Amino acid sequence: MKQLVTLRINDTDEEIYVEPWWTLSYVLREELNLTGTKEGCNGGHCGACTVLIDGKAVMSCLYLAMKAQGKEILTIEGLKGHNGPLHPLQEAFIEHFAVQCGYCTPGLIMTAKAMLDENPNPTEEEVREGLNGNVCRCTGYTKIVEAILSVAEKQKL
Amino acid sequence: MTPLSVVGKSVLRRDARAKVLGREEFCIDRKLPGMLHAKVLGSPYPHATILAIDTSAAEKLPGVRCVVTEKNAPQKLTGTGTVRDMPLLAKGVARYIGEPVAAVAATTIEAAEEALELIKVEYEELPALFDVETAAGTNPPVIIHPDFSNYRKSTPRERLCPERPNVCAHIKIYKGDVDRGFQESELIVENRFVAPSIQHCALEPHAAVARPETDGGLTLFTGKQGISRVKEDIAAMFGIEAYKIRVKQQYVGGAFGGKATIYELIPALLALKCGRPVKWVMTREEVFVLGGPRQGMVLNIKDGFKKDGALVARKMEVFVDGGAYAEASPGVTQNCSSVAVCMYRVPHLKWDGYAVYTNTPKRRGMRGYGVNEVTFAIESNMDIAAEKLRMDSVELRRKNLLTEGEAMLNGEIIHSNAVAECLDKICQSIKLDEKSPSEGAWRKGKGVALGNKYSSPGSHYGARIAVTDNERVVVYHGADAIGQGVNTVMAQIAAEEFGISPDGVDIVFSDTAITPYFGHGSTSSRTTFNLGNAVRHACAAAKREIFERAGARLEAPPEIMALDNMEVYIPRHPDKKIEVRDLFTSDDAGEIVGTADYKADCIPDDPKTGQLDPALAQQGKRFMAFYAYAAKGVEVAVNTETGEVKVLRCHGAIDLGKAINPKSCEQQSEGGMAMGIGSALYEETLMENGRILNPSFTDYRVPLATQMPLNENMKSILVESAPHKDGPFGAKGFAEGVVTGMEPAIASAVYDAIGVRIKELPITPEKVLMALREK
């Protein structure tokens, strides 16, 4: 049976009725129209649905919406504040040509944010290791890795 | 020639901002008022007679609005290739596991899924065929399409093969006398290669939303390759006038050939039956089955050489597993022969390609359209031959390469071919002669291979340019924005023509009600070449209209005018000028429009021999629009204890004529090489008795970031020394050529490292260890 829950998404409380088996990605996309979070496999294998929960990268297609109560959920839509500038990762993905079809992009950016928050100064190998939960079929990852490393480099300054 | 100001610059991609913000609306994100959700019931058997279908329980389920089977569907057969062999929903017989038998539209996805379980289908299993060579025989145990001779098809009679009942096309390319050629040869090298079916794995699953319109027509929101074609397919299937069908899309989340398959007929049927919009998003598992994977080929190759390395004769017999319906397989079987035709000088050639029905999922085409598989066989065989001839394999290739102005093996005259330069650059950059030392169990090796990818002329491709009263240049086009960056490149081309910044160009795209016809869609590496030409010509037409209008004001003939930064001026009279925005007064017409349609200057071949008319070929008539050549160089490390292969370095040179946007070209190249690493080492659609065993990203291994070389070891070399005379600014398409050659280069590097040659892809640890043991 549906239950009323409050989900804190992108600094806003959303009250919503959810079935106990609904995943967070389903609720984000189908109930709240936050379609920036993508679904590529619904099995936790492609990373397109990655969001941050309490700062950690999570595959939202495997995460039950009910479980997210009381936690801070950050999606791609909340990464840049209203009218604010782009997040440095968003800037870097544009500047470094890290975007092709763009379907994996939101998930990759969220994964990269969690990665850099935890380890602001990663090696290339660490960046690649950190991206292993995200599939990109277009780019071969070269320019994505370059974009992420450039943000880490700038943060050092 | 005036220097280019925008073309050739790495202008930032105009689609990137919306994509990094998560604001781009892909088809899968689309919602419409009153929209229902579709689910499809597939056959559990690879070959079975359907005795009865009972949908009554499913229809009664709350939320279900409509259940369809072949009984509610038009009785016509469809097919997106040369043979119309495929019912909308299985009719009387199911020919592969997963073949759609029934479909449901319901108010929720959950109700639609539940309804599928309530549909009762009675089957009687039939014997089935899975092996492509058995199926291709003259006396196969099963005939998959007993009615084949009655199907509508555009295949020429000479390419049918009634003596092989499961062959839907037999492609022959014959030149000289191959038997004589082998008699004259001093070394014969004969091998069998296998390339499996692999998957496109575009991250956005196939999706479509069909909305019935009040006039009996249909609007289809989709995410595919070829909106003009799907419009025609829907009109033909449902008998609706084409003008009442509108197909729209925005950005597509990857395609790679898989989204040229037709899947929109099911939601269209449901929408027309329910009178409500219906959305169908394939599950990932469905994409593996219904998404039109790559064919899978068995390739027998026999090459004859002189002692000095000159190729004398080549015989190839290629069996192409097309699955249960023809779709693109006859086309793949034909077009992949281009590899045997356009690269090496061979006096005697006999190519027999068979597109074969089996009881496995129907195939579409995948990036390369068969070329990668054929290249794997040819390039590997060249390496094997070089060793037997005691020749350097690069020298052997150089010696036999066709060059500009020579006739290809189908008589076509070579134009725009920088393959030799690609080869030289790759040998230098990968340092082919320097061998890296082994580290423990890891042995290192290097390999080089050539490749090429044709672009088929297909159909014709349009563009329209509007210049507005606020001096915006608007490009209307019907190509597919599948991630390749078409809108950025077309904005650059239009900006170049008008002498403005690309920021002054707007793009309206992919809507059959608004944008011009775009033939076969963004497939066959054709968009930059065909649409680029159409945009250039349409810009010229719009400029003529501007000069006409300006001529009336400036009292000067249009021929002497020029345009710069939206100002018309007369070079010989600098004081005579007028701004474009002033050409929209009440005396003038409204919007300034220029239109153009481009079709490559190509001719068909002779279906009996694959040869072009020699007189026409001599005049420069071509079979394909262009060919992009390529060379790949890799360094691998092979673990002799585990059999694991790692690609350490990967360099690709691509003969693209002109890089309109070099960074975008690098993107394609890097992604293409990654795809080649995947198909060389990891990827295979595993099938057992017609069932796909690995339809998920855990079991089907797409390359991940750690499986790619480090950034300093990835290199793309864009070769611009052979511009194409008909290409926009000399450009050719190259989005497939960047993959081609990866498999043989990696196989060659593995051989260099450990002395074993793998002839069946992918090069898995198991195969490496087995081969090492047998050595």
Dmax over Cα atoms in chain B, in whole Å?
86
CA B647 to chain CA mean position, Å? 25
Q: pLDDT tens for residues B574-583?
A: 889 999 999 9
Same domain, A19 and A40: yes
Residue B150 located in a structural domain: no
The answer on pLDDT for B26 being more than 70 is yes
State the pLDDT at residue B575: 87
pLDDT exceeding 70 applies to what percent of chain B?
A: 100
Same domain, B383 and B473: no
Among candidate residues A77, A108, A136, the one where a domain is terminated: A77
Counted domains in chain B: 3
- Closest chain A residue by Cα to residue B485: A100
Please name the member of B13, B698, B704 whose beta carbon is closest to the beta carbon of A99: B13
| Full DSSP string of chain A | --EEEEEEETTEEEEEEE-TT-BHHHIIIIIS--TTS--SSSSSSS-TTEEEETTEEEETTSSBGGGGTTSEEE-HHHHS-TTPPPPHHHHHHHHTT--SS-SSHHHHHHHHHHHHHH-SS--HHHHHHHTTT---SSSTTHHHHHHHHHHHHHHH-
Q: pLDDT tens for residues B321-376?
A: 999 999 999 999 999 999 999 999 999 999 999 999 999 999 999 999 999 999 99
Same domain, A110 and A138: yes
Same domain, B376 and B470: no
Query: Is the Cβ pair A128, B705 closer than 8 Å?
Result: yes
Same domain, A45 and A22: yes
Across B645-660, average pLDDT: 98
Query: The tokens of B416 are what?
Result: 């725009």
Residue B170 located in a structural domain: no
Residue A83 located in a structural domain: no
Amino acid found at B643:
G
Among candidate residues B574, B598, B622, the one where a domain is terminated: B598
Residue B183 located in a structural domain: no
> Nearest-CA neighbor of B155 among B228, B84, B233, B75?
B84
Min Cα distance A115 → chain B (Å) is 14
| Banded model confidence at residue A84, pLDDT cuts 50, 70, 90 | confident
Same domain, A63 and A110: no
CA B694 to chain CA mean position, Å? 23
| Banded model confidence at residue A83, pLDDT cuts 50, 70, 90 | confident
State the pLDDT at residue B71: 97
| Banded model confidence at residue B458, pLDDT cuts 50, 70, 90 | confident
ipTM above 0.90, yes or no: yes
Query: The tokens of B251 are what?
Result: 């950005």
Report the C-alpha dihedral over residues B535, B536, B539, B545, rounded to 10 degrees: -120
Q: Are B302 and B112 in contact (CB under 8 A)?
A: no
Residue A82 located in a structural domain: no
Residue A63 has phi, psi (to 5 degrees) of -110, 125
Catalytic residues of B: 736
Residue B194 located in a structural domain: no
The answer on pLDDT for A155 being more than 90 is no
Tell me the CATH number at A103: 1.10.150.120
Residues of B in contact with A94 (CB under 8 A): 12-13, 16-17, 20
State the pLDDT at residue B520: 92
Query: Is the Cβ pair B21, A80 closer than 8 Å?
Result: yes
Residue B281 located in a structural domain: yes
Same domain, B556 and B653: no
Q: pLDDT tens for residues B372-393?
A: 999 999 999 999 999 999 999 9
Among candidate residues B541, B564, B598, the one where a domain is terminated: B598
State the pLDDT at residue B642: 98
- Bridge pairing between strands B348-356 and B278-281: unpaired
Residue B121 located in a structural domain: yes
The answer on pLDDT for A44 being more than 70 is yes
Could you tell me the residue range of the domain that residue B81 belongs to?
Answer: 27-126+201-290
The answer on pLDDT for A129 being more than 60 is yes
- Cross-sheet strand order for the sheet of B461-467: B505-509, B473-477, B461-467, B592-598
Same domain, B712 and B649: yes
Q: pLDDT tens for residues B476-500?
A: 999 999 999 999 999 999 999 999 9
Could you tell me the residue range of the domain that residue A19 belongs to?
Answer: 3-77
For B196-212, b/e burial (b = at least 16 CB within 10 A) is bbbbbbbbbbbbbbbbb
Tell me the CATH number at A72: 3.10.20.30
Residue A143 located in a structural domain: yes
Query: The tokens of A48 are what?
Result: 């397109």
- The Cα-based distances of A119 to A87, A105, A149, B384 in angstroms read 17, 20, 11, 48
pLDDT exceeding 90 applies to what percent of chain B?
A: 96
Among candidate residues B230, B260, B290, the one where a domain is terminated: B290
Min Cα distance B188 → chain A (Å) is 39
Query: Is the Cβ pair A145, B711 closer than 8 Å?
Result: yes
A74, A80, A99, A126: best mutation site toward chain B, by most B Cβ within 10 Å?
A99
- Closest chain B residue by Cα to residue A45: B697
Q: pLDDT tens for residues B706-739?
A: 999 999 999 999 999 999 999 999 999 999 999 9
Residues of A in contact with B25 (CB under 8 A): 35
Same domain, B113 and B227: yes
Same domain, B610 and B735: yes
State the pLDDT at residue B1: 54
What is the 8-class DSSP label of residue B576?
E
Min Cα distance A44 → chain B (Å) is 9
Counted domains in chain A: 2
Residues of B in contact with A132 (CB under 8 A): 704-706
State the pLDDT at residue B409: 98
Residue B108 located in a structural domain: yes
Residues of B in contact with A81 (CB under 8 A): none
Same domain, A32 and A60: yes
Q: pLDDT tens for residues B210-235?
A: 999 999 999 999 999 999 999 999 99
State the pLDDT at residue A156: 82
CA B28 to chain CA mean position, Å? 22
Cβ pairs bridging A and B (under 8 Å): 177
Residues of A in contact with B26 (CB under 8 A): 38, 103
Same domain, B478 and B541: yes
Residue B423 located in a structural domain: yes
Same domain, B431 and B470: no
- Bridge pairing between strands B245-248 and B278-281: unpaired
Residue A26 located in a structural domain: yes
Tell me the CATH number at B445: 3.30.365.10
Across B592-608, average pLDDT: 96
Min Cα distance B241 → chain A (Å) is 33
Query: The tokens of A146 are what?
Result: 């370059």
Mean pLDDT for chain B overall: 97
The answer on pLDDT for B548 being more than 90 is yes
Q: Are B478 and B231 in contact (CB under 8 A)?
A: no
State the pLDDT at residue B707: 97
